[in-house]
Amino acid sequence: ADELRAALGGRWARVQVVEQTGSTNADLLADTGAPDRSVLVAEAQQAGRGRLDRGWTSPPGAGLTFSVLVRPAAPIATWGWLPLLTGVTLREAVSEAAGVEVSVKWPNDLLAAADGRKLAGILAQTSGEAVVIGIGLNVSTSDEELPVETATSLALCGAGEVDRTRLLVAILNRLDARLAQWDDVGGDAEACGLAAAYREACSTLRLRVAVTALDGRRIEGVARDVDSAGRLLVTTLDGGESVIGAGDVEHLRPI
């Protein structure tokens, strides 16, 4: 933790590292007094969560498992951009610190550019005026340790030895910078260049996709763009447009 704090140079208000916990997201959500820019890193997580209460597995020491808490000044209507902002940041940091090219799948996955397998997942949860953003990234995870066929790790992408602290510092430095730029313009993703970076990073855009919504609806069409709230705009086959929020989606897959 001291090494991490020193490398971050005071830009993160509170940095904690624990050997193990249930879920770093759950811990920060429960910590109602946590200051803006709190970070909680866990070596091992016993009850890691994905969206919709799905599980997130991370063998101890093989990945990065952490959450940050931020208290944005930007209006709540723009907070849908936070997982997307995190995805853009992860992509840049992974490319810089591990030399692996990745893309972002709307709304919350990081995929290896080479084979489309999932390298990382992002889980943003709101509690009052705070947002907790959790990140699980597979670093040295082996094939046998990965829970599903569609998962991969930096090591499996040919990254070689990756210094996890260095990678985490690269992520947190970039995340702080992007958050500040975005918050300074009131969460306007176009004005701070985030929307442009996202359009470049996102492999979902321009694809034909099938979305299964939580209410059972199925939407098929071309993923055209992302709007000012971070929602996906899908041009449906009949020429209409569906506006899809991250919270409404059970599955999204290219067709």
What does the alpha-carbon distance between residue 88 and residue 244 come to, in Å, rounded to a whole number?
A: 20
Assign residue 20 a region: left if phi > 0, alpha if psi is -120 to 50, beta otherwise?
Answer: beta
Q: Which of residues 73-92 bind ligand BT5 (CB under 6 A)?
A: none
**Tokens 């492999």 belong to which residue?**
203
Options 86, 89, 138, 204; binder of ligand BT5; rule CB under 6 A: 138
Backbone angles phi, psi at 41, to 5 degrees: -110, 135
Which region among 4-12, 47-55, 220-228, 245-253 touches ligand BT5 (by CB under 6 A)?
47-55
What does the alpha-carbon distance between residue 189 and residue 227 come to, in Å, rounded to a whole number?
A: 9
Residue whose CB is less far from ligand BT5, 92 or 109: 109
79 DSSP assignment:
T
DSSP 180-220: HHHHHTTT-TTTTTHHHHHHHHBSSTTSEEEEEETTS-EEE
| 148 binds ligand BT5, rule: CB under 6 A | yes
Q: Specify the amino acid at residue 103.
A: S
Total of chain residues touching ligand BT5, rule CB under 6 A:
30
Options 3, 20, 54, 217; binder of ligand BT5; rule CB under 6 A: 54
Residue whose CB is less far from ligand BT5, 141 or 242: 141
Options 4, 12, 15, 25; binder of ligand BT5; rule CB under 6 A: 25
- Rg (Cα) of the chain, in Å, rounded? 17
Which region among 6-14, 129-137, 205-213, 246-254 touches ligand BT5 (by CB under 6 A)?
129-137
Are 56 and 48 in contact by the 8 Å Cβ rule? The answer is: yes
Residue whose CB is less far from ligand BT5, 91 or 192: 91
Q: Specify the amino acid at residue 26.
A: A
Options 16, 65, 86, 103; binder of ligand BT5; rule CB under 6 A: 65
| 48 binds ligand BT5, rule: CB under 6 A | yes
Options 151, 226, 232, 234; binder of ligand BT5; rule CB under 6 A: 151
Q: Least CB distance from residue 124 to ligand BT5, whole Å? A: 9
Options 16, 23, 78, 242; binder of ligand BT5; rule CB under 6 A: 23
Report the residue closest to ligand BT5, judged by CB: 121
What does the alpha-carbon distance between residue 207 and residue 210 come to, in Å, rounded to a whole number?
A: 10
Are 151 and 58 in contact by the 8 Å Cβ rule? The answer is: no
Which region among 50-58, 87-95, 197-205, 233-241 touches ligand BT5 (by CB under 6 A)?
50-58
Tokens of 113: 């550019």
| 164 binds ligand BT5, rule: CB under 6 A | no
| 244 binds ligand BT5, rule: CB under 6 A | no
Are 196 and 88 in contact by the 8 Å Cβ rule? The answer is: no
Residues that bind ligand BT5 (CB under 6 A): 23-25, 48-52, 54-58, 65-67, 108-109, 118, 121-123, 134-136, 138, 146-148, 151
